[in-house]
Amino acid sequence: MKEIDVIEYIPQIITEMKQGILLTTKDGDKANAMTIGWGQIGIEWRKLVFTAYVRHGRYTHEILEKTKEFTISIPIERSPEAAKAIAYCGSRTGRDIEKLKDCNLTLVDGVEVKSPAIKEIPLTLECKVIYQQEQDHDRIPAVFREMFYPQAIPSDEPRANRDFHTVYYGEIVNAYILE
């Protein structure tokens, strides 16, 4: 495990996030990862913060509401194994399955948080939620509201994305690359 200065890795993290990275939570013994493509790294209240956007309907949302902590896992090189896991975790809910086990990923205990790191997707940010905010749909420009929150699509259809996002501000309490 090599500790890193997150700021040096921001370009790499944002570049990888455009293709999808993992946000992992842990509820009791069960770890669950979802793919995320939206997020920021920045500074607020003198803290280094990773900001994630999680729709209300995600299983991850339910867990974050309980545990208020998560890890972010970013590939260093997008191996076929990492790419497959990121696609899998972005297309299935972990409510009834164990996505990380299905992908044969090696979990490593978090240091400052209960959520694990992932050996095969080694650049890791451990985050504790210090603030959260609901998006105000009346302030979202109509063009984005229609594009990203189409209310016309029934919730049980695969393309359904009706739910708005909770924005979670995770203080980055530890950052490293698993070796």
Ligand X SMILES: Cc1cc2nc3c(=O)[nH]c(=O)nc-3n(C[C@H](O)[C@H](O)[C@H](O)COP(=O)(O)O)c2cc1C
**Smallest distance, ligand X to C-beta of residue 35, A:** 4
The type of residue at 101 is: K
Identity of the residue, 34 or 118, whose beta carbon is nearer to ligand X in the bound complex: 34
Identity of the residue, 34 or 107, whose beta carbon is nearer to ligand X in the bound complex: 34
Which residue's CB comes closest to ligand X? 90
**Smallest distance, ligand X to C-beta of residue 75, A:** 13
For position 124 contacting ligand X by CB under 6 A, the verdict is no
For position 93 contacting ligand X by CB under 6 A, the verdict is yes
**Smallest distance, ligand X to C-beta of residue 5, A:** 25
Task: Print the binding letters for residues 52-81 with ligand X: x by CB under 6 A, - otherwise.
Answer: -xxx--xxx---------------------
Q: Which residues lie closer than 8 Å to 61 by C-beta, 6 or more apart?
A: 54, 55, 166
Q: Compute how many other C-beta atoms are within 10 angstroms of the C-beta atom of residue 109.
A: 10
Q: Using CB under 6 A, pick the residue from 35, 71, 73, 115 that binds ligand X.
A: 35
For position 30 contacting ligand X by CB under 6 A, the verdict is no
Identity of the residue, 62 or 120, whose beta carbon is nearer to ligand X in the bound complex: 62
* Residues forming the site for ligand X (CB under 6 A): 20, 32, 34-38, 53-55, 58-60, 90-94
